């Protein structure tokens, strides 16, 4: 078994202590880093709950309604097969329901204000967000 040099073990221990916020280790580096600062996020859990927003009320029927099927572009390929299947199902089984299939811009994590405005302008009655296929 090959052993790591003692110096690399010590540097690893110092890095762990610094990242965990141990003050005595940090004190030794204050002289070196007086002019430099970094910003970190505090991973501590806050006691304040997020504002709760109620769900939209259920529709009494889908007949005559417009439903958007939005591909969230989760894997970056777009146009997941499951949304095509859903649209085909609605066409066959509920022809009175208008479905509009849309691909969200960029990827699932980015915003797409133009799409949300389109959905609102068309007064969509519902949206199904698809994230897998």
**Domain range list for the chain:** 66-130
Closest CA to 128 of 62, 64, 77: 62
Question: For residue 4, what are its two tokens?
Answer: 């790591």
pLDDT at 89: 97
The CA-atom distances, in angstroms, between 81 and each of 73, 101, 105, 130 are 12, 11, 18, 10
pLDDT at 25: 46
Per-position pLDDT tens, the chain of length 133: 555 554 455 555 555 556 555 544 455 555 555 667 788 877 777 788 888 999 888 999 999 999 999 998 887 666 678 899 999 999 999 999 999 999 988 878 889 999 999 999 999 999 998 876 5
Buried-exposed string 64-78: b where 16+ CB fall within 10 A, e elsewhere: ebbbbbbbbbbeeee
pLDDT at 50: 82
């Amino acid at each position: 078994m090959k052993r790591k040099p003692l110096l690399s073990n010590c540097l690893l221990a110092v890095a762990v202590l610094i990242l965990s916020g141990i003050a005595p280790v940090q004190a030794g580096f204050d002289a070196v880093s007086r002019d430099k600062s970094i910003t970190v996020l505090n991973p501590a859990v806050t006691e304040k709950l997020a504002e709760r927003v109620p769900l939209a009320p259920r529709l009494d029927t889908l007949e005559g309604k417009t439903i958007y099927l939005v591909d969230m572009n989760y894997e970056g390929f777009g146009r997941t097969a499951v949304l095509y299947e859903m649209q085909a199902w609605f066409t066959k089984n509920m022809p009175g329901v208008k479905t509009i299939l849309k691909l969200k811009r960029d990827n699932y994590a980015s915003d797409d204000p133009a799409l949300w405005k389109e959905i609102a302008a068309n007064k969509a009655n519902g949206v199904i967000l698809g994230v897998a296929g």
